[in-house]
Structure 1
Amino acid sequence: MKRLYSNLTVQVLTAIALGVLVGALFPAFGAALKPLADTFISLIKMLIAPIIFLTVVLGIAGMGSLKKVGRVGGKALLYFEIVTTLALGIGVLVANLTQPGAGVQATAQAVLQDSKQTAEAAKYTSQAGDMNWVEFFTHIVPDNVIGAFAEGDILQVLLFSVLFGLSVNHMGAHGQPLMRTFDRLSHAMFGVLAMVMKLAPIGAFGGMAFTIGKYGLATLLPLGKLMLVVYATMFLFIFGVLNLILRYYNLRLWPYLTFIKEEILLVLGTSSSESALPRMIDKMERYGCSRSVAGLVIPTGYSFNLDGTSIYLSIAVIFLAQAFNIPLSLTQQLTLIAILVVTSKGAAGVTGSGFIVLASTLAATKVIPVESVALLLGVDRFMSEARAITNVIGNGIATLVIAKSEGEFDENRHQLALQGRSVPEELQPEPAAMLPRVERPAPASIDSE
């Protein structure tokens, strides 16, 4: 019984259930618990930048061939574009077939007449007006490297990490003392992460209590069909499209989902995919991917491989068109997908990113009034969990695909993971990264997941 209670999965599940109960029975108190979730997410965020830096530098320096670094990055970006475009197309198709916006016209008009919600929508509209793909790509280059780390800008940190890793790679043997130091720092950072994760149940409890307490379950009723369609589409995308991708590479979906169950539950409780980012890098390494591939693909995917966000955006736009009786031709819908391919990439690391990207898309198409996003304000928080979970699952699968295609997948480590006895790459007899490892005593027992 004690062993069961000490399991992180059980603790997070219990915390989520208690959060729902507290939010439903004591709404005001539940809404006041938001700082618990925010503080936990901040603890995770403070580790993201250094972990990405150390992991990417160690991975690229250990690849040996710079040509290989470019090939891995190119494959990852190509995969991201194909899969996210497919997700967008599926979202548009499902929204047209299910018509989730039919029957909510009265609610839509009432929402637009609510001055408070319209003002809230206007805030997102003003933010969206400044978003464009040129600004997005130029923003990747930081004005100040220290500032990029301080602000936790994933793309900027990733760019600097790649450049630094390439430089150390070019140093050859002269860079090995630095790599040994980075290796020790990497272990220390993951040690800090392990301590922070002990607070995951508290963060999940606070996040769920806030969501239920502030918005209430009654908020779901008018837009229940939309929520059902979004959740069902993401479920089908994961167990249909992503499952088939894994099958093609001789991998199975369910064992993978079981292996990252703690990360899935963490995202469910906090509604933040960033809360699982550092752990996903470590988990993918334990599941068989090389450190170099996991360290490069996972952080990049958080900006370019947003499957859940893509599905939500495409369904939401069609839903708003239906709710406000605005017919969209096939050409307009194809144009919509093309614009979403670009604007969805701006969803990384931006507060309220779903609304900002949605508003920017509506502003670009000029077909649906941008103020209509106010209709989604009440239920967006409930759908953010589905978006974040799908994003996390999709990024892990992208890492597996790239690792398999590059021959950077360790089947022995994979089998250990399936048996619940996974060990990180650096404890393997023959590490994938071609760099000297720090001597350390053999572990008394293999870590259990």
Structure 2
Amino acid sequence: MPTYFRNLTVQVLLAIGLGVLVGSRFPAFGASLKPIGDTFIGLIKMLIAPIIFLTVVLGMGSIGDMKKVGRLGGKALLYFEVVTTLALVIGVAAANLIRPGAGVDTSRVAAEADKTRQYTEQAAHMDWVAFFTHIIPDNFLGAFTGGDVLQVLLVAVLFGAALSRVPAAVSQPLLSTLERLSHVFFSILSLVMKLAPLGAFGGMAFTIGKYGLDTLRPLALLMGSVYLTMALFIFGVLGGIARWYGFSLWRLLGFIREELLLVLGTSSSESALPRLMDKLTAFGCARPVVGLVVPTGYSFNLDGTTIYLSMCSIFLAQAFNVPLTLGQQLTIIGILMLTSKGAAGVTGSGFIVLASTLAATKVIPVEGMALLLGVDRFMSEARAITNIIGNAVATVVIAKSEGAFDEEKSQAALAGLVQPESEAA
């Protein structure tokens, strides 16, 4: 086998291409391959909780100063709020400028009413106070079995804080044991990642086979608008932030290219979460920063999701000829600033959060979401990729602002001299 075929990037690219081919030529067979993609994502999810826990605890153990940990968390949340609000404003502005909903045929809305009713009912029962109180698990082990990233993060922070308060005779042997466990879990991750091409193939074959490329034609302008806006946000806003803090966005994207392709193939940003944490540590970000910023960002720094929600809200208003005043648009932005923060904690998050937003405004018909059913899966890939890039940039920014970024290690990693632990294992 030629050497380049052993490269994970090449393997995932070929798998995505093969998935598109199989899904388009044999739709029924392609749609039946969903369990392959789901199984791979399940294997990755199995590792998320322990890797987050170990990374955070070991990172906090190396800091030892809880005031610094608090400052780090506060700085990250402030950054998240500023950048996601900017993403919302850009999404609304782009939708008003391009007007992708003008002239869209809304006749199929009634035919798809049953499919949208479930999202409307779920949105009606969403309790955002309950979402935040749910961050506290029922018990210590429940945080690891419930699949909630924020619960794991909370337990890890409390555990790390407690370790800093006990005598060194107690904490040091325990930290040493956790360090060894960390190596084991990253070794498991390296084994699971060998199945990444298979997961990307199954995920892409399912998407193309079930939804088909023909579903893109009626809403091609919306699709193009969302992708274009997200690209402008990545290379304009995030690129500008990267330049301000003295690092190259392009080089960072090149370093995490395998994770981006994995997200593209599986339409899930969770599939890349453990590897992203590992890659950013190898890139030069201090472990405590990676451990706190990345998991928190998966719930509070969803740049792609916020752009999608804002553009789709304005799109539906245009499709149903509902003129929105500046005040109403500002109200939508305000509601989305709240609802978008809970997106990662809700099953079917994109549609449910959009439904809750439209229900709260009481101006745009919620049933209109039926227009988005055919293309939502394709837009989810753009959302997930933008989300993961936004969190990668946020981690480097916070690390640099805290003086917790190793420039020499970063240059060595870019030169291929430092390997992430999941690749070296």
Q: TM-score range by the shorter chain?
A: over 0.9
SS of match in other structure, 1:199: helix
Give the whole-Å Cα distance in 1 for the aligned partners of 2:417 and 2:324. Answer: 53
Quote the residue 1:149 is aligned against.
144
Pairs within 5 Å for 1:51-66: 51-66=51-66
SS of match in other structure, 1:348: helix
* Shift, 1:417, TM fit: 1.5
* Shift, 1:369, TM fit: 1.4
SS of match in other structure, 2:375: helix
Give the whole-Å Cα distance in 2 for the aligned partners of 1:122 and 1:145. Answer: 36
Quote the residue 2:274 is aligned against.
278
Quote the residue 1:133 is aligned against.
128
* Shift, 1:424, TM fit: 5.1
SS of match in other structure, 1:198: helix
Contact residue 243 and residue 253 of structure 1 kept, 8 A = yes
Give the whole-Å Cα distance in 1 for the aligned partners of 2:110 and 2:352. Answer: 21
Cα displacement string for residues 231-276 of structure 1 (whole angstroms, at most 9, x for unaligned residues): 0000000000000001011101110000000000000000000000
Question: Residues 8 and 113 (structure 1 numbering): CA distance in 2 closer, same or farther, change over 3 Å?
Answer: same
Residue 245 of structure 1 is aligned with which of 224, 241, 244? 241
Pairs within 5 Å for 1:72-151: 72-104=72-104, 106=105, 108=106, 110-114=107-111, 117-151=112-146
Give the whole-Å Cα distance in 1 for the aligned partners of 2:7 and 2:14. Answer: 11
Residue 157 of structure 2 is aligned with which of 150, 157, 162? 162
Cα displacement string for residues 181-212 of structure 1 (whole angstroms, at most 9, x for unaligned residues): 00000010000000000000000000000000
2:40 equivalent to 1:40: yes
Structure 1: 5+ residue runs without aligned partners? 427-445
* Shift, 1:422, TM fit: 2.0
Query: Normalising by the residue count of structure 1, what TM-score does the alignment of the two structures yield?
Result: 0.93
Pairs within 5 Å for 1:209-358: 209-358=205-354
The residue type paired with residue 76 of structure 2 is A
Give the whole-Å Cα distance in 2 for the aligned partners of 1:318 and 1:353. Answer: 18
Contact residue 286 and residue 414 of structure 1 kept, 8 A = yes
Give the whole-Å Cα distance in 2 for the aligned partners of 1:154 and 1:52. Answer: 8
* Shift, 1:148, TM fit: 2.3
The residue type paired with residue 75 of structure 1 is K
Question: Residues 264 and 424 (structure 1 numbering): CA distance in 2 closer, same or farther, change over 3 Å?
Answer: closer
The residue type paired with residue 63 of structure 1 is I
Please identify runs of 4+ aligned residues in structure 1 that moved more than 6 A: none
Give the whole-Å Cα distance in 1 for the aligned partners of 2:136 and 2:325. Answer: 39
Question: Residues 192 and 124 (structure 1 numbering): CA distance in 2 closer, same or farther, change over 3 Å?
Answer: same
SS of match in other structure, 1:250: coil
* Shift, 1:351, TM fit: 2.3
Question: Residues 61 and 367 (structure 1 numbering): CA distance in 2 closer, same or farther, change over 3 Å?
Answer: same
* Shift, 1:129, TM fit: 1.0
Contact residue 77 and residue 304 of structure 1 kept, 8 A = yes
Q: Which moved more, 1:42-51 or 1:344-353?
A: 344-353
Give the whole-Å Cα distance in 2 for the aligned partners of 1:423 and 1:3. Answer: 18
Contact residue 37 and residue 203 of structure 1 kept, 8 A = yes
Question: Residues 197 and 424 (structure 1 numbering): CA distance in 2 closer, same or farther, change over 3 Å?
Answer: closer
Cα displacement string for residues 396-419 of structure 1 (whole angstroms, at most 9, x for unaligned residues): 100001000000000111111221
Cα displacement string for residues 375-408 of structure 1 (whole angstroms, at most 9, x for unaligned residues): 1011000000000000000001000010000000
Pairs within 5 Å for 1:160-199: 160-173=155-168, 174-199=170-195
The residue type paired with residue 110 of structure 2 is Q
The residue type paired with residue 11 of structure 1 is Q
Give the whole-Å Cα distance in 1 for the aligned partners of 2:227 and 2:68. Answer: 38
Give the whole-Å Cα distance in 1 for the aligned partners of 2:81 and 2:16. Answer: 34
Quote the residue 2:5 is aligned against.
5
Residue 379 of structure 1 is aligned with which of 375, 382, 385? 375
The residue type paired with residue 90 of structure 2 is I
SS of match in other structure, 1:222: coil
Quote the residue 1:429 is aligned against.
none
Contact residue 305 and residue 394 of structure 1 kept, 8 A = yes
Q: Which moved more, 1:264-273 or 1:55-64?
A: 55-64
Cα displacement string for residues 106-156 of structure 1 (whole angstroms, at most 9, x for unaligned residues): 2x2x22220xx2111110011111223212211111112322211211111
Quote the residue 1:19 is aligned against.
19
Query: Normalising by the residue count of structure 2, what TM-score does the alignment of the two structures yield?
Result: 0.98
The residue type paired with residue 57 of structure 2 is V
Give the whole-Å Cα distance in 1 for the aligned partners of 2:337 and 2:209. Answer: 35
* Shift, 1:420, TM fit: 1.9
Contact residue 28 and residue 213 of structure 1 kept, 8 A = yes
Contact residue 413 and residue 423 of structure 1 kept, 8 A = no
Contact residue 332 and residue 361 of structure 2 kept, 8 A = yes
Give the whole-Å Cα distance in 2 for the aligned partners of 1:159 and 1:70. Answer: 13
Structure 2: 5+ residue runs without aligned partners? none
* Shift, 1:447, TM fit: 5.0
The residue type paired with residue 123 of structure 1 is Q
Contact residue 143 and residue 155 of structure 2 kept, 8 A = no
2:399 equivalent to 1:416: no
Aligned residues: 424
Aligned-pair identity in percent equals: 69
The residue type paired with residue 284 of structure 1 is L
The residue type paired with residue 134 of structure 1 is V
Give the whole-Å Cα distance in 1 for the aligned partners of 2:420 and 2:32. Answer: 39
Contact residue 278 and residue 421 of structure 2 kept, 8 A = no
Give the whole-Å Cα distance in 2 for the aligned partners of 1:151 and 1:403. Answer: 30
